[in-house]
Chain A
Amino acid sequence: MFLNGLEQLLRRKIVLTAVAATLVFLGLFWWGVSAAAGAEIPGNGGEEEFQAAKMLKPADAALAAVITSAPLAATLITALMIVIGSTMLPEEIDEGRMPFWLSLPQSRLKVYSLTSLAPLALSFVLALLIFGGILAITRSYFMFTPRNLLLVPVSMLSWLAVVWSAVILLSLLVRKVAAMLIAFFLTAVSSLFGGLHEIMRMFPGEAPPLLESITRAVILLFPADRGYRGVLYGIIPSDAAITENLAFFGVTAGVPALQLAYALFWSLVLLALGYWRFRRMDF
């Protein structure tokens, strides 16, 4: 079922478009980074600016490149996940193929989980490709050591799993378009409050308590952003100066393992709810 789902997805125009967009994105990123690597630092030629420029290390440029490109890459992957995730099961149901698959000697759980798994696998591979590309291109022009590469696949999985499980559940509850819109809204809210959470960590105790409570609630209810931050913090340079600067602001540039585990657990809960709904459906 998993391979069938994957085969079906790979034939869809939206997936081919996403793959093409990924390649175009990486091409443009390469072009931008290579241009930046060879560029002179603009200024009026004063001694102070010259000294400041001399202090910049390749890791600083790499940080800028990674931090500016990562949100775009994340948006592309999230959008793809939402579109293919919200249509995977409904299309099998609407076009009469689901009764056919379910009439074969296999359990509903198997059909549900393996069919649903295809969008996650595809998005994961594409995310690895795009973030791996960002890392490789940046490192080829500005040599640096990533902070925690091992954290990246785990964080990526927890990020995508939350979006995936939410959109699979929504697609079984509401119409496709509504499922997409709700999922986009949830990820946008999660991203917004995830960013606010990071800022609040820089200035502890200065944010209004209500905002802090809302932020905490959003992170608890839809922890997709935690995984994305884990990916980002995993590939940024582990340069000592950057780490010290971030530490000065109280930011550890890391996501606690517990938060990632929580996100994975949460996605399992959503997936189980989706299965509960799927099991009760008449076809």
Chain B
Amino acid sequence: MEKNGILWVREVSKSYRRVRALDSLTLSVERGSAFSLLGPNGAGKTTLMKILLGLVSSDSGEVLMQGIPVSSPASRTGVRYLPENITFPQWASPLVLFRQMERVRREVSMDQFLVRCAELECSELLRRPVGRMSRGQRQRVALSLVTCGDPVLVLLDEPSSGLDPGGRILVRNLIGNLSRMGSTVLLNSHLLGDVERVCHTAAFISRGRLVAMGDLDSLSRHTGLVMVETGEPERMSAALFESGYSCRQDQRGLAVELDESADFGTMVRAVLDTGIGFTGVNRKRESLEDVFLRIMGDEAMEKDGGKGKRECS
């Protein structure tokens, strides 16, 4: 693990009275990556984020941000954080909030803020008091305030909370843009579909421990199925069955069972030999939700009494 990465966490533990929130957790995040913290509720993700920002002190371990111990305010230069629950003063408009923020951080120009507001489609809200905004509008304003300019590192705790599908797409695009522009994004979200689309790497945390970490492609396994996209699934299924392949239909198309060791080319040839029209043949890999459930096992379900599965879908 590189100490000069943007984040470097080694053997960090934290307890709240008798509850062990983090247990000898070690991880590092490379500069410019979009990194996600995944785990069931109470896994310790938010605690980790707060330790990174110096909001919560760890009981033991070492944490560096931009190569500087997090106890030093200098480690937070260029770092932005959007907490899960923040209530801005009801009377304040986004312009007032931006002015208040820049009094402290002095990093962003008004133009940069306006650009971000336009990107998140909240330019028309600039003079409206926060108290007269919907939850989704407030969230978009908060995201504009936090991510404007050229941040080095952005920590987002449930950024899509309260947003409609359109808002969620905007957030996904925002994270993608930030990452492309060289910012590192640390995302804590239960919306695995969103994480899958925008993040390169993820750490799976359970009961305060790191269970798995890596880039999403390498974490995702082959499912043993090949999806055949065809307009005649019944005929295709019967033809492939005659060639020795076992098939089943699901809502996404025709799924053909194929072991990892079996030859994909031979199977594609079998599809071609049927003479039936098709538009695509793809090996099916695990979705992030599948990966999550495989790695977390029953723990994720037990923790929330089954709520986890709904949240992660």
**A contact residues vs B (CB 8 Å cutoff):** 1, 3-4, 7-8, 11, 95-97, 99-107, 280, 282-283
Contacts and interface: CB of A to CB of B under 8 A. Distances in A.
Contact of A105 (B79, B91, B155): B79
Interface stretch (B35-43, B99-107, B178-186, B298-306): B99-107
> What 5 A-B pairs have minimum CB-CB distances, sorted nearest first?
A103-B81, A95-B87, A96-B86, A105-B76, A283-B55
A103 B55 CA distance: 7
B167 interface: no
Given A100-B86, A105-B74, A4 B81 contact: no
Contacts of B83: 96, 99-100
A135 to B, nearest CB: 35
B85 interface: yes
Nearest to B142: A100
A97 B82 CA distance: 10
Interface string B53-72: 11111000000000000000
21 contacts: A1-B103, A3-B100, A7-B100, A8-B89, A11-B89, A95-B86, A96-B85, A97-B86, A97-B87, A99-B50, A100-B83, A103-B53, A103-B54, A103-B76, A103-B79, A105-B73, A105-B74, A105-B77, A105-B78, A106-B73, A282-B55
A15 B81 CA distance: 31
A97 B100 CA distance: 12
Contacts of B80: 103
A101 B81 CA distance: 9
Contact of A283 (B56, B76, B88): B56
Interface residues of B, number: 29
A101 B79 CA distance: 12
A282 B50 contact: yes
Contacts of A283: 50, 55-56
A82 to B, nearest CB: 22
B20 to A, nearest CB: 15
B56 A104 contact: no
Contacts of B105: 104-105
A106 B75 CA distance: 10
Contact of A3 (B54, B87, B103): B103
Contacts of A102: 53-55
Nearest to B76: A105
Given A99-B50, A106-B73, A283-B50, A1 B81 contact: no
B63 to A, nearest CB: 14
